């Protein structure tokens, strides 16, 4: 059991996919923080969390009074393929949850490792033979049923060969003295693992979870969202239970 910001954490890291993970870096506040953020309007403060406080959180969530859920924060370290990182990027702390957040929003909290500066060994997401999926029949996005095992095996082998070829070229460019920011052009992009820190309020996390735990979200992202959910429900059991109804249904 780890200790983060004075709080005991049973599981502060959950592995996802073949090499990825979600790790809780920092946490500020609790369900009681949400309660007192609401109570301050009446110059009140609770010192313990009881059924009364639980009912208050339920009332706030049910009636859309979301500002009290913005006073507790978490920071996650995430290691995921670039295809997930670029979907995740839209969920920013302090945003109005619009499709396109303001470019000058001063509350963005996203810091990502850059291959302009680092030259650590590249890692790629390689789907297992049974993880390949067909294109959906009646939609332009998402995925359908699993591809047969024989074809899946061939696709995994082909993808591995493609990744290795890119890695060989990347290493050759580096050895020839090409700068890292250009040598990275050789790396197959969307399967390349990247690492970043993401900070968000309870409301911000819940917004992401409601969208990315949905059945029509990319399945790989669903796995990352489930890892975030499992960590969040431990620390904010009432708030997350009320705000993330979809996740609650899927975990039963």
Each as own residue / partner, the long-range contacts of residues 85-89 (CB below 8 Å, 24 or more positions apart, any chain) are 85/112, 85/194, 85/196, 87/212, 87/218, 87/221, 88/198, 88/208, 88/221, 88/224
- Kindly report, residue by residue over 200-231, the tens digit of the pLDDT: 999 999 999 999 999 889 999 999 999 999 99
Model pLDDT, residue 124: 95
Q: What residue ranges do the domains of the chain occupy? A: 2-117+193-250, 129-186
Of 241 and 89, the one with more pLDDT: 241
**Cα(157)–Cα(154) distance, integer angstroms:** 5
With a cut of 90, say whether residue 249 has pLDDT above it: no
**pLDDT attached to residue 126:** 96
Does the domain at 2-117+193-250 match CATH 3.30.1360.170? Answer given as yes
Spatial separation of the C-alpha atoms in residues 204 and 93, rounded to whole Å: 6
In this predicted structure, the answer to whether residue 149 has a pLDDT above a threshold of 60 is: yes
CA quadruple 10, 13, 14, 18: dihedral sign = negative
DSSP 236: S
Distance of alpha carbon 70 from alpha carbon 63, whole angstroms:
16
pLDDT the model gives residue 92:
67
Of the chain, the percentage scoring pLDDT greater than 70 comes to: 84
> Are 18 and 79 a contacting pair, CB within 8 Å?
no
Confidence tier at 101 by pLDDT (50, 70, 90): very low
Which single residue is written with the structure tokens 């997401």? Answer: 125
Average confidence (pLDDT) over 60-80: 93
* Residues designated catalytic: 212
Give CA torsion, residues 113, 102, 206, 83, to 10 deg.
Answer: -40
pLDDT, residue 3, reads 56
Residue 106 has pLDDT above 90, yes or no: no
Mean pLDDT lowest among 25-34, 66-75, 85-94, 226-235: 85-94
- 11 or 86, higher pLDDT: 86
Predicted local confidence at residue 93, as pLDDT: 46
Q: What is the pLDDT of residue 7?
A: 47
Query: Region 130-139: what's the mean pLDDT?
Result: 86
- Residue listed under structure tokens 């502060």: 12
245 has pLDDT over 90 = no
Indicate whether 105 pLDDT > 50.
Answer: no
Q: What is the pLDDT of residues 6-48, one digit of tens each?
A: 544 456 899 999 999 999 999 999 999 999 999 998 888 999 9
């Amino acid at each position: 059991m780890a200790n983060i910001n004075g709080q005991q954490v049973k599981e502060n890291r959950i592995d996802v996919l073949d090499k990825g993970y979600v790790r809780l870096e920092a946490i500020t506040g609790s369900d009681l923080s949400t309660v007192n953020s609401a109570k301050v309007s009446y110059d009140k403060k609770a010192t313990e969390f009881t059924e009364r406080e639980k009912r208050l959180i339920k009332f706030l969530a049910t009636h859309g009074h979301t500002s009290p859920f913005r006073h507790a924060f978490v920071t996650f370290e995430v290691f995921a393929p670039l295809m997930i990182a670029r979907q995740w990027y839209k969920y920013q702390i302090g945003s109005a949850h619009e499709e396109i957040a303001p470019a000058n929003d001063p509350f963005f909290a996203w810091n990502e490792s850059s291959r302009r500066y680092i030259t650590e060994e590249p890692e790629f997401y390689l789907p297992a033979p049974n993880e390949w999926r067909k294109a959906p029949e009646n939609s332009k996005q998402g995925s359908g049923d699993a591809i047969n095992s024989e074809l899946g095996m061939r696709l995994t082998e082909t993808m591995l060969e493609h990744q290795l070829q890119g890695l060989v070229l990347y290493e050759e460019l580096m050895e020839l003295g090409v700068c890292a920011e250009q040598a990275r052009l050789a790396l197959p992009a969307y399967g390349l693992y990247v690492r970043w820190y993401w900070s968000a309020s309870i409301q911000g996390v819940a917004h992401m979870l409601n969208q990315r735990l949905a059945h029509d979200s990319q399945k790989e992202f669903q796995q990352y969202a489930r890892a975030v959910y499992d960590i969040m429900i431990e620390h904010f059991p009432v708030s997350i239970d009320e705000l993330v109804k979809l996740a609650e249904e899927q975990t039963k």
